C-alpha cells in the first residue's frame, strides 16, 4: 500500500453518495477505509439498479466504493455496537450521514467518541444542517437550494447527475484534509459539519453572489450565460456547436474565422458588456453564418483560430475524448473498469487496491485489524491473498 494518506484509518459510516465519494477519494490516496453497512441491505445504492456491471453490482454503488473494506454491523445490537465503538476509537477519521442524534443514541456521537479518541476528525454530512431533520436527497437540495430555478429553459430542470452530493463530498474531503493538517500541528481533532444546502450555495458562485449583492435572484436562461456572450450552443448546418468566448481577443479571432471581421469593431459587439446588451442580435448573426457549414467544419476553423468551441458529446464520447487527450480516464483492474481518480500526483500516486466490496466480505479482517497495534500487516495479508487469487 502507498499514497499520501498511508496509515490513516477511516471509519466510513456514510451511505449513498456524498460521504462514500469523499471516503473513496481518501482510499485512493492510501487511507484504509472501513465501510460500515447495515446487515442484509447494506448501502442503499447496492439496490439502485439497473444498470449493473459485469459482476452483477449496481453501477451506482461501484462508482463510489472502491478501495474500501466492508463490515455489516447492526448498531442496535450490543455486540455489533461495541465493534463500531472500537472502530471509532481507533479511527483517524470518521464520516457519517445518519439522521441528527442517531449516532449519539448509540454512543457514537462526536461528544462521546472524542472523549476516548481526542484526535479524531469527525465529519458529519447532512442535508440542511446537523440540527435539521429534512432528508438530504440531492434532488430536494437542487430544488430548494435554487439550482433548478436557474437550470433549463421554460421549466426548472435538475442537473443530470447528483451534483450537489458530489460537491458536498468534495467539500467534506477538503475539510478533512485541512483538519488532518491542523491535527499534525496541534494534536487536536475536531468536528466538521458539512451540508448539502451550504455546499450548493457556495458552488453557485457568481449566481449566488448576484442574489446577495443585488438582492435579485438570477433568471433562468437555458444555455445562455448571464455575463458572457457568445457563450452557448449555436445551430450549424447539421448539429449544435458550443462556442465559449471569454474575452474580447477571442471574440475578434472568432469574427475573423467566421469571415466577419467587422463585427469586432461594431459598437454593439466590441466589448463584452456591449455583447451582453445586444446578445439576441449577435446570436442571430452568428447562427446565420454557422448555418452555411457543418459543426465539424466550423469547429476545425475555430480551433485553428484558437477560439474555444466543441460539440455536445455523449458521456461515451467524452470518455473517448479524454482518452485521445492522454488523460487516461479509465482504469482496469482484474478485468473490471472504473473512472480513474481525477488527480495525478508526481510523488505519491494513487493506488487501486480494492474492487467495491461485497457486503460484509471483510468482517474477519476488520475484527483482526481492531485487535492489532498497526494496520499494515493485516491489510498486506489481504492484498497478498487477492493477488494470489488473481494469479490462479
**CB-CB contact of 200 with 147 (8 Å):** yes
Which residue, chain included where needed, has cell 454557422?
Answer: 290
**Contact criterion met (CB below 8 Å) for 177 and 28:** no
Residues 391, 69: Cα–Cα separation, whole Å: 21
- Number of DSSP helices (H) and strands (E) in the chain, helices first: 15, 11
Residue in 43, 92, 138, 165 annotated catalytic: 165
Question: What is the widest separation between alpha-carbon atoms in the chain?
Answer: 78
Per the listing, cell 482510499 goes with 27
Picking from 220, 248, 232, the residue whose alpha carbon sits closest to that of residue 286 is: 232
Q: Give residues with Cβ within 8 angstroms of 249, minimum separation 6.
A: none
Whole-angstrom distance, CA of residue 285 vs CA of residue 266? 13
User: What sign does the dihedral 37-38-42-48 (CA atoms) show?
Assistant: negative
Known catalytic residue at 280: no
| Cβ density class 213-230: b for 16+ within 10 Å, e for less | eeeeebebeeebbeebbb
Strand order in the sheet with 231-235: 231-235, 240-244, 309-311
**Strands 231-235 and 93-96, sheet pairing:** unpaired
249 neighbors 273 (Cβ within 8 angstroms): no
CB-CB contact of 127 with 134 (8 Å): yes
| 3-state DSSP assignment of residue 166 | helix
Radius of gyration over alpha carbons of the chain, in Å?
25
List residues with catalytic annotation: 165
Amino acid at each position: 500500500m502507498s499514497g499520501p494518506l498511508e496509515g490513516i484509518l477511516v471509519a466510513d459510516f456514510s451511505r449513498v453518495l456524498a460521504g462514500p465519494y469523499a471516503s473513496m477519494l481518501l482510499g485512493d490516496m492510501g487511507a484504509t477505509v472501513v465501510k460500515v453497512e447495515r446487515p442484509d441491505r447494506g448501502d442503499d445504492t447496492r439496490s439502485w439498479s439497473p444498470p449493473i456491471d459485469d459482476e452483477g453490482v449496481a453501477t451506482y454503488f461501484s462508482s463510489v466504493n472502491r478501495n474500501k473494506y466492508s463490515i455489516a454491523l447492526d448498531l442496535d445490537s450490543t455486540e455489533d455496537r461495541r465493534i463500531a465503538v472500537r472502530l471509532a476509537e481507533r479511527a483517524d477519521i470518521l464520516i457519517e450521514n445518519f439522521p441528527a442524534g442517531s449516532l449519539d443514541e448509540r454512543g457514537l456521537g462526536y461528544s462521546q467518541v472524542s472523549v476516548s479518541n481526542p484526535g479524531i476528525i469527525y465529519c458529519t454530512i447532512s442535508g440542511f444542517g446537523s440540527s435539521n431533520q429534512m432528508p438530504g436527497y440531492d434532488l430536494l437540495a437542487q430544488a430548494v437550494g435554487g439550482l433548478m430555478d436557474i437550470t433549463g429553459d421554460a421549466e426548472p430542470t435538475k442537473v443530470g447527475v447528483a451534483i450537489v452530493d458530489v460537491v458536498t463530498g468534495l467539500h467534506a474531503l477538503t475539510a478533512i484534509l485541512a483538519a488532518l493538517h491542523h491535527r499534525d500541528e496541534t494534536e487536536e481533532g475536531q468536528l466538521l459539519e458539512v451540508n448539502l444546502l451550504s455546499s450548493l450555495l457556495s458552488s453557485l458562485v457568481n449566481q449566488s453572489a448576484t442574489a446577495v449583492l443585488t438582492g435579485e435572484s438570477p433568471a433562468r436562461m437555458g444555455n445562455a450565460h448571464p455575463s458572457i456572450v457568445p457563450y452557448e450552443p449555436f445551430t450549424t448546418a447539421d448539429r449544435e456547436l458550443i462556442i465559449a468566448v471569454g474575452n474580447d481577443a477571442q471574440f475578434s479571432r472568432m469574427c475573423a474565422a467566421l469571415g466577419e471581421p467587422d463585427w469586432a469593431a461594431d459598437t454593439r459587439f466590441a466589448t463584452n458588456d456591449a455583447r451582453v446588451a445586444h446578445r439576441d442580435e449577435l446570436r442571430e448573426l452568428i447562427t446565420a453564418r454557422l448555418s452555411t457549414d457543418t459543426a465539424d467544419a466550423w469547429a476545425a476553423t475555430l480551433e485553428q483560430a484558437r477560439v474555444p468551441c466543441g460539440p455536445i458529446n455523449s458521456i461515451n464520447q467524452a470518455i473517448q475524448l479524454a482518452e485521445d487527450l492522454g488523460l487516461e480516464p479509465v482504469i482496469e483492474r482484474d478485468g473490471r473498469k472504473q473512472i480513474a481518480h481525477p488527480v495525478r500526483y508526481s510523488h505519491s500516486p494513487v493506488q487501486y487496491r480494492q474492487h467495491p466490496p461485497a457486503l460484509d466480505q471483510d468482517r474477519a479482517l476488520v475484527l483482526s485489524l481492531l485487535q492489532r497495534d498497526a494496520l499494515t500487516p493485516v491489510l498486506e495479508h489481504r492484498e497478498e491473498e487477492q493477488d494470489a487469487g488473481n494469479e490462479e
